Chains A and B, each alone.
Chain A
Amino acid sequence: MKLILNFWRKLTTPSKAAVGTILAMGFLGGIIFWGAFNMGMEATNTEEFCSACHAPIVKELKETIHYSNRSGVRAICSDCHVPHKWTDKIVRKVQASNEIVAFLMGTISTQEKFEARRKHLAVREWQRMKENDSQECRNCHNFEYMDFSEQGPRSKKQHSTALASGEKTCVDCHKGIAHKLPDMSDVPGW
């Protein structure tokens, strides 16, 4: 009890140190905290970090155009699955704390467990993309700069109508472009 009281007194009474020292300490602490925070954010955005749990899906990506293509531009997990805008990123990262529980419980720790949960995970991600108008696709694939004359007849038709009017968003048609698909029997368009 005495200990707590003493600590409280320390907090409430003005310090004998110079204001400059206090400020400098606060400033330094801030830099260290902010740096560490951003480093943590970056570290949890790497492919290595993702594949610690989602290894099978990282393997699947390697066969697709988003990993291997003629020009060598590629996307990593976080390019599509973590928002780029800072505030949205923080929101997603906080939601992701739930995924630590899944990791500890070993929800997708084997290929079989992962296959059983594939539909659930895919549907949740499609829903997220639909709600933010496929923002993570659009970070690279900008509608404004699409040259319809370079597209195939079907792409041109769909992009200049349904996509242009906002009736549909990227993920409505482009499912399974970077991973294998779950059971599609009840998905519209399949």
Chain B
Amino acid sequence: MKKIIGVLLTAGALLSASVIATEATHIENVNSGGVESMRGITELDDTRKADELKRVIKDRGPIDRDYVYQPPLVPHQTRGYEVSLNANKCLSCHSWKYAGEMGATKISVTHYQSREGQVLADVSPSRYFCLQCHVTQVDAKPLIENDFKRVDSLR
């Protein structure tokens, strides 16, 4: 009889210990509380599978601008275009020297000015890294409906 009680006690102790252990791990889990983001439901401590890469628009005409002073978007691929201390591939078409001959959009006059507005002979170093403002475009649908209106709507 004593033996049976002993066995039951140890079994009970083990069972309760395992329950506590599972509860502890459950608390450690971070729960999103069922809130779904536009990227779907993912627990915060899970790593979600990455989306497929979008394809960059190969080549098309200029893209209309949406607001005043918007840097024009890049309507073509730029893979392998070197912009470094040694060379700037963008400028071999878009600089004032070559834009006409290449049929490319000429870079703005503001790029030939220093921060203080002094006119320079060449592209200002502060404007040298084209892709900081001008970005290549992919053929992606907006994630949510967007009611942004173009600047024309203010006229």
Residues of A whose CB lies within 8 Å of any CB of B are 63-65, 152-154, 157, 176-177, 180-184, 189-190
Contacts and interface: CB of A to CB of B under 8 A. Distances in A.
Nearest to A178: B80
A154 B86 contact: no
A184 B59 contact: no
B18 interface: no
A8 to B, nearest CB: 62
A177 B80 contact: yes
Contacts of A177: 80
B79 A181 contact: no
A71 to B, nearest CB: 15
Given A64-B80, A65-B80, A154-B102, A189 B86 contact: no
A63 to B, nearest CB: 8
A182 B86 contact: yes
Given A152-B58, A152-B59, A189-B92, A176 B98 contact: no
A89 to B, nearest CB: 29
Given A152-B58, A152-B59, A176-B87, A189 B98 contact: yes
B87 A181 contact: yes
Contacts of B76: 152
A75 to B, nearest CB: 14
A67 to B, nearest CB: 11
B117 interface: no
B86 A183 contact: yes
B81 to A, nearest CB: 10
6 contacts: A64-B80, A65-B79, A157-B103, A176-B89, A180-B84, A181-B84
